[in-house]
């Protein structure tokens, strides 16, 4: 058999795939990356993390002018939104970052091949390029990093107009009159916040008793109170029983705790995502797929059941988060190079970019109770932090959970200003097995929001 052209072919240019490809090249491998879309960066960059945060930031500036600016003595007069400029700015951010990814891969020496890839034989990846010319990449190893797609609901199929996915809800050209979001998870709450801040009436229909149910209960309840105060109509324990299209939109019948009828011009279905393996040609390879989750089964080194085929990111178990995908990509290629590597799944931070932001790492109080772990809990409101008063951002609290005997940190949950950045310190502390006393002992700059976190740790470490 002729020698393969590549040591590794990565399929998928998202935060899992491109980070893995860059690192593999840095480790001396000859690497190709196949991506079917023109812009590199995956769902995260094209229609996920980045465009949603750009819209969240823009809409937050607008909301500030209409609400808290006055407290600061700032009178902006009549304000309005130029949605075309706001959307163009978002797209410019996306395209700039996609160019940066391409440049990084170029510098690393990764060969990027545009087209839809599939496994066409042992050690062979076929890429159907957009211009119709198929390319065959012969390789020693394959890394699957094809990510996920919106799951949707069979009773509410996406039509791109009335019933939309998150990708379409990121690109609305007009502010909806009434946006109904089915699913009160990450996407529902973030995109619901964007459009509510820009002037839409927003209703969130959540099947479970609580929105954002993986959050620590105390934090989740605080978030729900805050979003209701901002005008979101949140209906938990509720489902859409019927949807009838009309001239202007949809008439919905809701059943459950929030039962009733609603009319809306747009309906966003955000009920989770499913792994994307369609068209990859895995059937003949021996790659095992979990029939319950649809995810590829891998071992601790991200090897599938098929020889020399690996998988990472949204395609495999664990939270569907960009930084988790990247961490797995790095660990997978280090493992291929014979280097020690692991991902610490107990210290993966997650953030909901609402206002206030919510950020967590480690176990929730509910999980500690369920496991019977002895623990101590300390929560300190931001209202007491000097910096919060200066900023006029006093909502929320920092909560620290530590082992009842050793004081080892088990979970940190923050709802409040800049929670997304505060969680980095807590993640490092959990990663390094630090105690609440360690966190409390470290000197925190004054006045900063981080003092609330330090005080929460101090309140349980004595």
Beta strands in 123-168 (DSSP E): 124-128, 134-144, 148-150, 163-164
Strand partners, 134: 128
Residue 349 as a binder of ligand FAD (CB under 6 A): the answer is: no
Choose the stretch contacting ligand NAD; rule: CB under 6 A; options: 113-121, 125-133, 348-356, 438-446. 348-356
Q: Could you give the C-alpha distances from 434 to 243, 346, 401, 414, in angstroms and in order?
A: 51, 13, 12, 18
Quote the least distance from Cβ 299 to ligand NAD, whole Å. 23
Which residue of 142, 250, 320, 331 would you call a contact of ligand FAD, by CB under 6 A?
320
Order of strands, sheet of 375-381, starting from the edge strand that comes earlier in the sequence? 350-352, 357-362, 409-416, 397-403, 375-381
Tokens of 421: 């950045």
197 Cα distance to chain centroid: 20
Q: Min. distance of Cβ 243 from ligand FAD in angstroms? A: 22
Secondary structure letter of residue 447 according to DSSP: S
Q: How far is the CB of 319 from ligand NAD (least distance, A)?
A: 5
Stretch binding ligand NAD (CB under 6 A), from 91-99, 179-187, 340-348, 422-430: 179-187
**# residues near ligand NAD by CB under 6 A:** 26
d(CA 341, CA 339): 6
Binding to ligand FAD in span 54-83, by CB under 6 A: none
> Does residue 208 bind ligand NAD (CB under 6 A)?
yes
Residue 134 contact, options ligand NAD, ligand FAD, none, Cβ 5-8 Å cut-off depending on partner type:
none
State in angstroms the smallest separation of the CB of 44 from ligand NAD.
Answer: 9
List 10, 187, 223, 414, residue binding ligand FAD (CB under 6 A): 187
Cβ-proximal residue to ligand NAD, closest one: 185
How far, in whole angstroms, is CA 287 from its chain's centroid?
A: 26
User: Stretches 3-11, 112-120, 204-212, 360-368: which one binds ligand NAD (CB under 6 A)?
Assistant: 204-212
Beta bridge partners of 33: 10, 112
In 3D, which of 411, 421, 409 has the Cα closest to residue 449? 421
Q: Which of 89, 323, 376, 444 binds ligand FAD (CB under 6 A)?
A: 323
Q: Is the peptide bond before 133 cis (omega within 30 degrees of 0)?
A: no
Task: Tell me whether residue 101 or residue 222 sits nearer to ligand FAD (CB atom).
Answer: 101
Residue 156, phi then psi, degrees to nearest 5: -135, 70
Q: Give the binding range for ligand NAD (CB under 6 A) out of 24-32, 83-91, 260-268, 349-357.
A: 349-357
Among 9, 11, 200, 271, binds ligand FAD (CB under 6 A): 11
Minimum Å gap between C-beta 375 and ligand FAD is 27
Ramachandran quadrant class, 294 (left: phi over 0; alpha: psi -120 to 50; beta: rest): left
Enumerate residues 250-289 that contact ligand NAD by CB under 6 A: 270-273
* Cα 133 from chain centroid (whole Å): 35
Q: Are strands 260-264 and 250-256 parallel, antiparallel or unpaired?
A: antiparallel
Asked if 15 interacts with ligand FAD (CB under 6 A), we say yes
Report how far apart, in Å, the C-alpha atoms of 358 and of each of 202, 223, 264, 351, 446 are: 20, 8, 28, 6, 22
Pick the binder of ligand NAD from 81, 153, 305, 347 (CB under 6 A): 153
Looking at the Cβ atoms of 407 and 416, the one nearer to ligand FAD is 416
Query: Could you give the string, one character per residue 234-273, with x where binding to ligand FAD holds by CB under 6 A and - elsewhere?
Result: ----------------------------------------
Tell which positions 142-181 bind ligand FAD, by CB under 6 A: 145-148, 166
Peptide bond into 134 cis (omega under 30): no
Q: Which one among 26, 256, 281, 319 touches ligand NAD, defined by CB under 6 A?
A: 319
Distance, CA of 238 to CA of 258 (rounded, Å): 5
Q: How many angstroms separate the CA atoms of 441 and 431, rounded?
A: 17
Cβ distance 147 to 313 under 8 Å?
yes
Closest of 250, 262, 102, 281 to residue 162, by C-alpha: 250
Tell me which of ligand FAD, ligand NAD, none is bound by residue 153, counting a contact when its beta carbon lies within the kind-specific cut-off of 5 to 8 angstroms.
ligand NAD
Does the protein bind ligand NAD through residue 183 (CB under 6 A)? yes
In the bound state with ligand FAD, the residue whose beta carbon lies nearer, of 12 and 378, is: 12
Q: Which residues are catalytic?
A: 446
- Give yes or no for a contact between 333 and 312, defined as CB atoms under 8 angstroms apart: no
Confirm if 165 and 184 have CB atoms less than 8 A apart.
Answer: no
Q: What is the CA radius of gyration of the chain?
A: 23
Which of ligand NAD, ligand FAD, none binds 327 (CB below 5-8 Å, type-dependent)?
Answer: none
Binding partner of residue 36 among ligand FAD, ligand NAD, none, CB under 5 to 8 Å per kind? ligand FAD
Residue ranges binding ligand NAD (CB under 6 A): 153, 182-188, 190, 205-208, 213, 239, 270-273, 319-321, 350-353
Residue ranges binding ligand FAD (CB under 6 A): 11-17, 34-37, 42-44, 48-49, 52, 116-117, 145-148, 166, 187, 276, 279-280, 313-314, 320-323, 325
């Amino acid at each position: 058999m002729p020698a393969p052209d590549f040591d590794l072919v990565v399929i998928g240019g998202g935060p899992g795939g491109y980070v893995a490809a860059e690192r593999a090249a840095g480790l001396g491998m000859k690497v190709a990356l196949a991506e079917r879309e023109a812009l590199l960066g995956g769902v995260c960059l094209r229609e996920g993390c980045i465009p949603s945060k750009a819209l969240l930031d823009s809409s937050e500036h607008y909301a500030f002018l209409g609400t808290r600016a006055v407290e600061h003595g700032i009178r902006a007069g009549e304000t309005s939104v130029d949605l075309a400029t706001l959307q163009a700015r978002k797209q410019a951010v996306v395209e700039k970052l996609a160019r940066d990814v391409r440049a990084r891969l170029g510098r690393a020496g990764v060969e990027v091949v545009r087209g839809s890839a599939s496994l066409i034989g042992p050690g062979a990846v076929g890429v159907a390029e957009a211009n119709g010319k198929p390319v065959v990449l012969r390789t020693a190893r394959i890394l699957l990093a094809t990510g996920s797609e919106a799951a949707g609901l069979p009773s509410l199929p996406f039509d791109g107009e009335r019933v939309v996915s998150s990708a379409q809800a990121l690109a609305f050209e007009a502010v909806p009159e009434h946006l109904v979001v089915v699913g009160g998870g990450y996407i529902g709450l973030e995109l619901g916040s964007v459009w509510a801040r820009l002037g839409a009436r927003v209703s969130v229909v959540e099947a479970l008793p609580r929105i954002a149910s993986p959050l620590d209960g105390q934090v989740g309840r605080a978030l729900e109170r805050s979003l209701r105060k901002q005008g979101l109509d949140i209906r938990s324990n509720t489902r859409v029983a019927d949807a009838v299209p009309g001239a202007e939109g949809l008439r919905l019948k809701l059943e459950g705790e929030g039962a009733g009828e609603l009319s809306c011009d747009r309906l966003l279905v955000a009920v989770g995502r499913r792994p994307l393996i369609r068209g990859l040609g895995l059937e003949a390879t021996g790659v095992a797929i979990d029939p319950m989750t649809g995810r590829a089964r891998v071992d601790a080194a991200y090897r599938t059941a098929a020889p020399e085929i690996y998988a990472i990111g949204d395609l495999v178990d664990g939270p569907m988060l960009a930084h988790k995908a990247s961490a797995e990509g790095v660990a997978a290629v280090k493992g291929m190079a014979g280097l020690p590597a692991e991902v610490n799944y107990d210290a993966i931070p997650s953030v909901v970019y609402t206002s206030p932001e919510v950020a967590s790492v480690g176990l929730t109080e509910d999980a500690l109770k369920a496991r019977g772990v002895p623990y101590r809990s300390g929560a300190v409101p931001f209202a007491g932090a000097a910096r919060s008063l200066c900023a006029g951002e006093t909502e929320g609290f920092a909560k620290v959970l530590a082992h009842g005997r050793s004081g080892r940190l088990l979970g940190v949950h923050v709802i409040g200003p800049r929670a997304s950045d505060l969680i980095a310190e807590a993640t490092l502390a959990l990663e390094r097995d630090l105690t609440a006393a360690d966190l409390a002992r470290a000197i925190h700059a004054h006045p900063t929001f981080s003092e609330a976190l330090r005080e929460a740790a101090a309140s349980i470490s004595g």
